[in-house]
Structure 1
Amino acid sequence: MSKRIIFTGAEVFDGTGSAPRRCDITIEDGRFLEIGTSLDGDEVVDLTGSTVLPGLFDCHVHVTSSGIDFMRHIQSPFSYQFYQAEQNLMATLACGITTVRDASGADLGVQRAVEDGLIKGPRLQISVTALSQTGGHGDGWMPSGCVIPHSIPHPGRPAGIVDGPVEARKKVRELARAGANVIKVFTSGGVLSPRDNPRHAHFRDDELDAIVIEATALGMFVMAHAQATDGIKSAIRAGIRSIEHGIFLDAEAIEMMLDKGTWLVPTLVAPKAVIDAAEMGLSVPESSVQKAKEVMEVHKESFTQAVKAGVKIAMGTDSGVGPHGNNLEELYLMEQGGMPIYDVLAATTSSAAKLLGWDEQLGTIEPGKRADLVVLEGPLGSTLQGIKSKIKKVYKDGVCVSS
């Protein structure tokens, strides 16, 4: 017989962007049953003095990546990444994130291991491998002639380099076969890739059109690593659902995003993570460190302009570049970039769920949805700085998974 659990006494932020309010929550069979006052149940959890949030989202992570120390990366056994992924997933869950979109690296085996309870972690939406043109952000060719890809291909993770619409179309089908839930494409250069420039657009329109058409036919959205202004605009024209990073936004790109309803996943913490890693003495290429320093301020300004214009925003961190478990640092950077606190939290809950297409099941505290909860010690406060230190418990599908 199922047990009805009541959480009482807390201030509840329901995920919609409204201010927290005092109410009770009942959970049964892993779903929210009622939200209100004077509710009945079989077990009472007293949360007086606490604040409750819906389970949080991170829409851009790499759970099989554990930092950007290139020497360590090339000296690690191939399978080591999957054991590290278990630790990364648990660290992510412990900071209140119960759902992630993996932006390349995690394969069907990682996703299924979480679903089947073999390992503990947030539920995953996976892209498996990101698509790159030759010489693009996903091309691991080094000046020495060695190739160090972001994620080494294996039978469940196809190689991602494609050139021309025919190759692009076929690769989307291969990724769907491998279990991808979303397609990721690099439409510009990036910070960590040594042989390209974040200001340069990648892929031509016919290639991007083929990717989007094929993904749409397979029932999948497309996300674009897009830092360059032209690469952002190419992605928007093609109908890609979300712009990841969006460093060099301009007024025209923002207007195009508003017109098309395109999402922004800013990952403000990512360039900072590159600089921090270098300062810690890790073997990060100097070209990457220099590019990270060059983009930090313009990245923040682009985000601020997008917020002012009303662009749809969902939280993402690029964790894997920086440490897993530090994901909530992004919230304070979003706040510093001009986004009101409740809007930041909505971007990390209900808006993120909409971006992923999972808003019917997740993202808000309301009857019928899956019972993911984050319990914070004390009131929410006037800033999101240090919010991770307030986390007392995390629930996923009504079960306490971290305390």
Structure 2
Amino acid sequence: MRTRLALAASLLAAVAPTASAATSGDAVLACGRLFDSRSGALLGPHTVVVRGGRIAEVVPGRSPDAAGAIDLSDRTCLPGFTDLHVHMGSQSSPQSYSEGFRLDPVDYAYRSVGYAEKTLSAGFTSVRDLGGEVALHLRDAINQGLVKGPRIFAAGKSIATTGGHADPTNGWNDALSHLVGPPGPTDGVVNSVDDARQAVRQRYKDGSDVIKITATGGVLSYAASGDAPQFTVDEVKAIVDTAKDYGYRVAAHAHGKEGMTRAILGGVTSIEHGTYMDEEVMRLMKARGTWYVPTIYAGRFVAEKAKIDGYFPDVVRPKAARIGALIQDTAGKAYRNGVKIAFGTDMGVGPHGDNAREFLYMVEAGIPAAQALQAATIRAAEVLGVDDQGVLAPGKRADIVALPGDPLADIGNVLKVDFVMKDGVVHREPAR
């Protein structure tokens, strides 16, 4: 113990915060408690040394010479959270459907800057954006240090079938549809195995990090069905196999059983939403190692908004009322049946920055607080296929958040995050 504390003290001398520490990625954190995402346990005081944006040392106890450390001794330190299902370019409102005809991409881009900063401030240092061309450019701007926001793994345009959940021409009148013409693989709309391959290759050309398909109808799309299957198994396999060529993983939006089954058999990495998942689907997911990202927040949000006249178009409102209310119950059943669960909100449906409320809904569904926190840290990293985040350990990214109280005893404490570090740079500190 003394040797390791001495090492922390010596490292502190080299990295004690200075005027340039905010941008150097060097710091020392004195944490009162530390969440070990590998075991799901809450540990006692630890000193975390950060050098060059990476965690250099995690030492039990507090270094006696850590006078220059950031004092988080009354707080719990955790790995930065990851939300595996967001849409950074938009946010639901009664005007959302008409805005698609009135606003330009640059309008959505400007809005996304504020959404990104809110998300980071809430403790989410990484997100997986599952649909929206703006996210590719927002990702690049964040990586270049031009704007503040989480690390983004972006899908770009979602891949759909004609009339499917991500067909961008749904709801258009005949004149406009004839003027523009039917969308094809370049626009993310496919109707054959060859189209499917081309759509993935186009996403590669666009610079995507992950592939998103809409394996069934959706709640908020301008179409009657929210759960009908929309790909053949062969089409899904073509997407998954082509995605592997580029090192991509595939996430599948799916509400209905048949669409989920086809997506799982086709080899997708994760099922998003999963509303009508039954025990047969759960057994298949366990056999295939498929992840489940419930997005309980979105389900509850749309179910509530469906009660408000005029919030959704008439074709959307009954789907929102029917499907949205079921997701939390499905998540609880999936947990009890041993399905692998990771964290995602579908934020952009609800207001960005409120992502942490998903933790509360997961616990309400019967998922233990420790496993809910793991779902947004180490498990999320597994879904992404990265091994440099989600754990507070030497060599990992210095993505660290802190909050008052014990989140295992009261999961509501996740709403109180007041310290956020991403890649060793402090973006938020407690008011003292």
Which TM-score applies when normalising by structure 2? 0.86
Find out whether 1:142 has 2:171 as its counterpart: yes
Determine the structure 1 residue equivalent to 2:301.
Answer: 273
Secondary structure class of the residue paired with 2:345: coil
Give, in whole Å, the separation in 2 of the partners of 1:320 and 1:300.
18
The equivalent position to 2:420 in structure 1, one of 379, 394, 401, is 394
Q: CA deviation at 1:41?
A: 5.7
Output one character per residue of 1:268-322: Cα deviation in whole Å (capped at 9) or x when no partner.
1112222444556664213322212212343222211110121111101111111
Residues 3-402 of structure 1: matches in 2 within 5 Å?
A: 3=15, 5-22=27-44, 23-36=46-59, 37-39=61-63, 43-68=68-93, 69-105=96-132, 106-139=134-167, 140-142=169-171, 144-145=173-174, 158-278=186-306, 283-358=311-386, 360-380=387-407, 382-385=409-412, 387-388=414-415, 390-402=416-428
Q: Which has the higher helix share?
A: 2
Report the number of matched residues. Answer: 394
**Who wins on radius of gyration, i.e. which is larger?**
2
Secondary structure class of the residue paired with 2:328: helix
Cα 1:206–1:119 shift into 2, 3 Å: same
Cα 1:381–1:258 shift into 2, 3 Å: closer
Give, in whole Å, the separation in 2 of the partners of 1:188 and 1:328.
27
Determine the structure 2 residue equivalent to 1:151.
Answer: none
Letter in 1 for 2:423: D
Report which stretch shifted further, 200-209 or 73-82. 73-82
Cα 1:169–1:236 shift into 2, 3 Å: same
Of all paired residues, the percent bearing the same amino acid is 34
Report which stretch shifted further, 291-300 or 260-269. 291-300
Report which stretch shifted further, 365-374 or 66-75. 66-75
Q: CA deviation at 1:161?
A: 0.9
Q: What are the ranges of 5 or more consecutive residues in structure 2 without an aligned counterpart?
A: 1-12, 17-26, 178-182
Give, in whole Å, the separation in 1 of the partners of 2:258 and 2:176.
27
Cα 1:100–1:188 shift into 2, 3 Å: same
Cα 1:107–1:21 shift into 2, 3 Å: closer
| 8 A Cα contact 2:31 2:77, kept in partner | no
Q: CA deviation at 1:146?
A: 7.3
Secondary structure class of the residue paired with 1:13: strand
Report which stretch shifted further, 191-200 or 262-271. 191-200
Q: CA deviation at 1:381?
A: 5.3
RMSD: 2.2
Cα 1:38–1:322 shift into 2, 3 Å: closer
Letter in 2 for 1:317: T
Q: What are the ranges of 5 or more consecutive residues in structure 1 without an aligned counterpart?
A: 149-153
| 8 A Cα contact 1:98 1:396, kept in partner | yes
Report which stretch shifted further, 111-120 or 299-308. 299-308
Give, in whole Å, the separation in 1 of the partners of 2:397 and 2:217.
38
